[in-house]
Structure 1
Amino acid sequence: MPRLQRYAVAQTFDVQAPSGLSIEGYDDEQHPLVPLRTPYVFRQGLNAVLAFLRSAHGDGLLLTGPTGAGKTSLIRQIAARLCWPVQEVTCHGRLEFNELLGGFQLIRGETVFMHGPLAIAAREGQLLILNELDLMDPAELAGLNDVIEGAPLVIPANGGEVIAPHPKFRLIATANSAGAGDATGLYQGVLRQNLAFLDRFRVLRVAYPDAMVETRLLEQLVPELPREIREKLVGVAQEVRRLFLGSEDEGSQGGELTVTLSTRALVRWARLAVTFKGAPNPLAYALDQALTARADAEERTAIHRIAADVLGPLWSGTP
């Protein structure tokens, strides 16, 4: 079992914080369930997540926001720096609560009960991340109500086994909606969730990073791309998102575009631009592969026009 140790917040996350501010994590960098540490610029939400990790007080944590805004990566990279093991599950409409508990499997000719991600995380003091929470059947998710609040986890299929949740067990979920369903029609399969279940969560809204943060991120991840181009790519992403999200004054029905240049797609575009730098019009070719090949013709043309306007002569040049 890994042991607990304290980490200074300022040094661990490369942020401005009081010199005495620290948080507990684990000491085993080699644990197989500790996420891979990658370059990351911490921003919005770090304080809220750290407060939750210090003390959940019977809550879960729900991170909600548009696709590719960095909901899951924020948790993974915090966990990576605290050496906190993570069980991660992607939810879907057919996922059942019992699959999170575990089930019987045939091992070397014997039927053996194998604990699932919820049981292991609760027992070992790990993080359980449920991605795409709003795709799961609300009736199945109700099985999490008591364990979120700290009640023992009971596994009837394993002879009524009782697991007392470890003090460091935390349940974190991510979703494109906040549980009230999808008003835009862009996230197919999203279900409206049970109000009593949602009442057990703190909610953290995660927006796309600002231009400065994304420029720093591209500098770390794609340093071979010239700075001027990195800044221009970020500018394109900001404009595409503005048209995707729409104005707050227009409500929650979305904007003029039905696809968006997320942080994930932005990094993909930058990397592909370097990969295809010897091709004709590499930035356009890379943007097609990163995003616009799956947009309809009208939206593809609109996004490429935005890119041409922002990049100017660079659009048809070589990175």
Structure 2
Amino acid sequence: MPELQRAAARATAAKHRQAEGTGETVRIGHVEMRCGADHPLVPRLNRAYLFSDRFNDIVEDIVENRRVMLIGHTGAGKTSLIEQVAARSRHGVLRSNMNGQTTVGDFVGFWTVKGGETIWVDGVLPTAMREGLWLIVDEIDFAEPSILAALTAVLEPHGRLVLKEKGNEIVAPHPDFRLFATANAVGAMSQFRHLYQGANLMNEAFLDRWRVYLLDYLTPAEEADVLMATLAPHMTRTLATTLAAIAADCRAAFAREDLSSAFSTRRLLDWAELMLRTGDPERAAAPAIYAKVSPEDAALIRGIIRHHIAPAPGA
């Protein structure tokens, strides 16, 4: 272990020296990352976003141009992590959601007729590769096999895409191009496949082309910090801790399959913001939580909330 730690320290120092010589950089967590050129697709910066220490390895992989897949339950922050890294380093992001309606033409490209002329339209993959954008393939475990086949060609760090429909044109990746995927029911999450109906199995040969990270929800302490930072100065520490505990209980119920819907940090923030406006947790929960879930889930969540926050007299 001491020898391994010395080797890792030398490698990290070398990467930092290399980054210093490549223009403007920004520190994200413990990692120095080169900034991109400003682009209209740079995500909106969330200054309250919390970069946990467990994200450092992911940011390192982005710097090294690894293919990164983030797995975890809905609302665990998989996509937002990539977007907030991009926001801080000023890289444009494209997202392609594998919702069952995304075709290989949408992803790779297609011929169409415009003004009497037949023209080629790049899909999101060659567009990102040519322009040096970051491409997030959301819910890749729902992707069509033809899309996965097209992806396989570019999963190596410098892999190229062959556009067979365009006379075998070769698309080489821009140095800033990065490829990400998110999934709910892959690898370590396979045990939850029954919660995500329609998710496809992915073989180990495909997964071995990615660095796969399991993302869990924020801890209650971390989530309380996010609430404080996002809704300052109105959010108190006591209320933030209580709301984070409610979210944790709802997620535990989801893991037990007592709830059929997850409880994202985004949902928690929306509820908290509306609660500060109305002064009433139940009134705020109606549009922020209850209307988005089944009546059975709403009743269970209402019970969890009332366990932590006593209802107003007469409620």
TM-score (norm 1): 0.81
2:106·2:123 contact (CA, 8 Å) conserved in 1? yes
Instruction: Report matched runs for 1:1-319 at 5 Å.
Output: 5-9=23-27, 13=28, 15=29, 17=30, 22-28=32-38, 31-39=39-47, 40-43=49-52, 45-56=54-65, 59-149=66-156, 150-178=158-186, 181=190, 183=192, 185-223=194-232, 225-227=234-236, 228-246=238-256, 255-277=257-279, 282-312=280-310, 315-316=311-312
CA distance in 1 between partners of 2:203 and 2:106 (Å): 20
2:107·2:124 contact (CA, 8 Å) conserved in 1? yes
Gaps of 5+ in 1: 247-254
Deviations 1:172-226 (A, max 9, x none): 0011122575635322321212432222111111111112221222223223643
Shift of 1:41: 1.2
1:34·1:80 contact (CA, 8 Å) conserved in 2? yes
User: Secondary structure of 1:287's partner?
Assistant: helix
CA pair 215-119 structure 1, distance change in 2 beyond 3 A: same
CA distance in 1 between partners of 2:309 and 2:81 (Å): 29
Shift of 1:230: 2.4
CA distance in 1 between partners of 2:75 and 2:291 (Å): 17
Shift of 1:108: 4.5
Q: Identify, as 1 or 2, the structure richer in helix.
A: 2
2:275·2:281 contact (CA, 8 Å) conserved in 1? yes
Deviations 1:220-257 (A, max 9, x none): 322364313222111111111122224xxxxxxxx432
Per the alignment, residue 9 of structure 2 pairs with none
Deviations 1:244-297 (A, max 9, x none): 224xxxxxxxx43222322121112112223433xxxx2112223222334444
Deviations 1:51-109 (A, max 9, x none): 111213xx521101111111000000000100111121111224333322222344444
Per the alignment, residue 5 of structure 2 pairs with none
CA distance in 2 between partners of 1:37 and 1:139 (Å): 34
CA distance in 2 between partners of 1:126 and 1:284 (Å): 42
CA pair 219-183 structure 1, distance change in 2 beyond 3 A: closer
CA distance in 1 between partners of 2:126 and 2:198 (Å): 27
CA distance in 2 between partners of 1:212 and 1:310 (Å): 16
Q: Which amino acid aligns with 1:50?
A: V
2:220·2:245 contact (CA, 8 Å) conserved in 1? yes
The CA RMSD over aligned residues, in Å, is 2.3
How many percent identity over aligned positions? 33
CA pair 114-308 structure 1, distance change in 2 beyond 3 A: same
CA distance in 1 between partners of 2:78 and 2:53 (Å): 11
Q: Which amino acid aligns with 1:286?
A: A
Gaps of 5+ in 2: 1-21
2:162·2:170 contact (CA, 8 Å) conserved in 1? yes
The aligned length equals 288
